[in-house]
Amino acid sequence: MLKDTIIIVKQEPDGTLACWDVELYQCDNCSKEFDASIPHYADGDHHYCCECAFLKGLISENEYLDYGSGFNSHMFRAYVENREVKIKYGKYTPEELRQRRNKKARERYQKKKKARGD
């Protein structure tokens, strides 16, 4: 939600004053505050920080990584574990690694079974 609008005043080197409005938002989920220049998810009057938007499934993993985390989506994976966002280096999430290991183990077992002639 929009929490406040503040006015920033800056004195330029030549002595003139520059001022502009900055909108401050508060995440509707975790109450974290951020200004309009911070990437976030907005839907009407609802504003969510990137982490909450990813947790709620409002933005994709790549959007979260590239705009909300500072990690590169080509080298990192983001996933949800115990209702928390986790980031890891590499191609696969722990769940995907587990599934791949299980699949390989099943394939090895089937091969051995065939070789034994069962």
Q: Which of residues 59-118 bind Zn ion (CB under 5 A)?
A: none
Closest approach of Zn ion to the CB of residue 52, in Å: 3
Count CB-CB contacts under 10 A for residue 15. 6
For the record, the structure tokens of 42 come out as 């907005």
Identified binder of Zn ion from the candidate list 29, 67, 76, 88, rule CB under 5 A: 29
Please, which residue, 52 or 59, has the CB nearer to Zn ion? 52
CB of 2 or CB of 30, closer to Zn ion: 30
Give dist(CA 84, CA 62) in Å, integer: 17
The smaller minimum CB distance to Zn ion, of residues 30 and 80, is found at 30
Q: Does 27 bind Zn ion (CB under 5 A)?
A: yes
**Binding window for Zn ion (CB under 5 A); candidates: 52-60, 63-71, 76-84, 94-102:** 52-60
CB of 32 to Zn ion, least distance (A): 5
